[in-house]
Structure 1
């Protein structure tokens, strides 16, 4: 289930948070997008696809805005004996000027 804030991502701000050789997977598991120029272009493309009804450029975003993004995450841990634990949650990242 997705909820959108209705405001498109600020791609210039988003891209500025990455180093020149930054890497993003979009969606997670796909071929990595490397470099700030490629990241910005991909963000711009998602904004075009989303239209006025939503924002954020990750298909799995729960919510995103100019300085915050929230997304689901699954962590799978396996010990030496083969016992598996799957943890599911929501990760929220907030970016500030510091």
Structure 2
């Protein structure tokens, strides 16, 4: 299961990066790629969330749950005409990076 989760996380990260690059080039399908990446990231975060700690109201787990909710809101707002859709999207990605910084590793084996 951990191998599938690592593949899911890698795929989500690649889709987010490629989608952001296409958005910067004003390509319309960049939004779709970015949203798919966020959707996969939401699935990954839900599968890795420690629900026991959420029920115990541990602050870090509650913040991670809040980050998942913000990502869900960003996914739904990205297809609307809201003025804040990209701001929420950036907030959700930065919040995800800050809350889950331990998963990012630059070490080589």
| TM-score, length-scaled by structure 2 | 0.27
Name the structure where helix makes up a greater proportion of residues: 2
Relative contact order, higher structure (CA 8 A, sep 6+): 1
Name the structure where strand makes up a greater proportion of residues: 1
Larger Rg over CA atoms: 1
